Amino acid sequence: MKFYRRWQPVSALTFDLDDTLYDNRVVIVRAEQQLLDWLASHCPPMEAFSWALWQDIRQQVMEQDPRLVGFVTEIRRAQIKFAATRCGLSDFAAQQLANDAVEFFLFERSNFSVPDEAIETLAALAANYPLLAITNGNVDCDRLGLTPYFMHVLQAGPDGKAKPDLAMFTKAKHLLDVDPENILHVGDHLKADVRGAKLAGFKACWINETKQPLTKQRHATLLPDVEISHLSQLLTLTRAV
């Protein structure tokens, strides 16, 4: 644990989800491959699509509709619809395929178990602090068993623009009814989580699992208040106040 600012007690905590409570990279890689297999079976011409082509289509749909930026589910839906029309499907059929594909993907991207360390840490903290989740992702907290620990789960799209935009942090502050300087936001991403939290007036806890110091991080623009390497260190941090 490393402190970058003098520590003061907090009254509430907010959490990023992906790559903070669990390793989302492994989950997404698996779900992405399952989605590609599903698409190939439901629209055979897509089997020939390269990864580079999928990325190019993704970029095209965001350029066509900049409002999609930061809304990962709707980007994926638009991407698949675009690809389906490129394969010759009608607009209606392409939209239906995209909707079914997104439903399949959302199921698979939440088809995993949260590590015991994360669950135990959340349970201990929730007994003493109000907790709230702020995520740019689309994981299903009900399926993962995370919902009981959070007063609210805020998601980019329905609840505002993606972090580091201040929209969800501002909404979290109002829901918690706590002054921002008394809220600790916990996350792995130096731009989305640390920068977003600090610009919103929150304290920021950076989970550093990279084994590289802050000075080596390319997204480091604002100092967190504290750095930890394991989620369970939050229990020591909160007991210390």
What DSSP string describes 23-46? -HHHHHHHHHHHHHHHHHHHSGGG
Tell me what percent of the residues of the chain surpass a pLDDT of 90. 87
- 38: number of Cβ within 10 Å: 16
Rounded to an integer, what distance in angstroms lies between the CA atom of residue 152 and that of residue 5?
A: 28
pLDDT bin (cut points 50, 70, 90) of residue 234 is very high
pLDDT one-digit tens code per residue, 134-178 = 999 999 999 999 999 999 999 998 899 999 999 999 999 999 999
**CA–CA distance, 186 with 109 (Å, rounded to integer):** 22
**189-204 pLDDT tens trace:** 999 999 999 999 999 9
- pLDDT mean across residues, the chain: 94
Query: What class, spelled out in words, does domain 26-109 have in CATH?
Result: mainly alpha
Q: Strands 131-135 and 12-15, how do they pair?
A: parallel
Residue positions annotated with a catalytic role = 16
- Percent pLDDT > 70 in the chain is 99
pTM greater than 0.75: yes
pLDDT > 90? residue 205 = yes
Q: In this predicted model, what pLDDT tens digit does every residue of 51-108 receive, in sequence order?
A: 999 999 999 999 999 988 888 999 999 999 999 999 999 999 999 999 999 999 999 9
CATH fold of 2-22+114-240? Rossmann fold (3.40.50)
Question: At residue 240, does pLDDT exceed 80?
Answer: no
Domain boundaries, the chain: 2-22+114-240, 26-109
- Judged by DSSP in three states, 76 sits in helix
Q: Is it the case that residue 214 has pLDDT exceeding 90?
A: no
* pLDDT confidence of residue 123: 96
Confidence of residue 212 (pLDDT cuts 50, 70, 90): confident
Q: What is the pLDDT of residue 209?
A: 84
Q: State the Cα–Cα distance between residues 133 and 159, nearest whole angstrom.
A: 12
Burial 188-213 (b: 16+ CB within 10 A, else e): bbbbbbbbbbbbbebbbbbbbeeeee
| Banded model confidence at residue 237, pLDDT cuts 50, 70, 90 | confident
User: What integer is the mean pLDDT of 214-240?
Assistant: 87
pLDDT of residue 217: 83
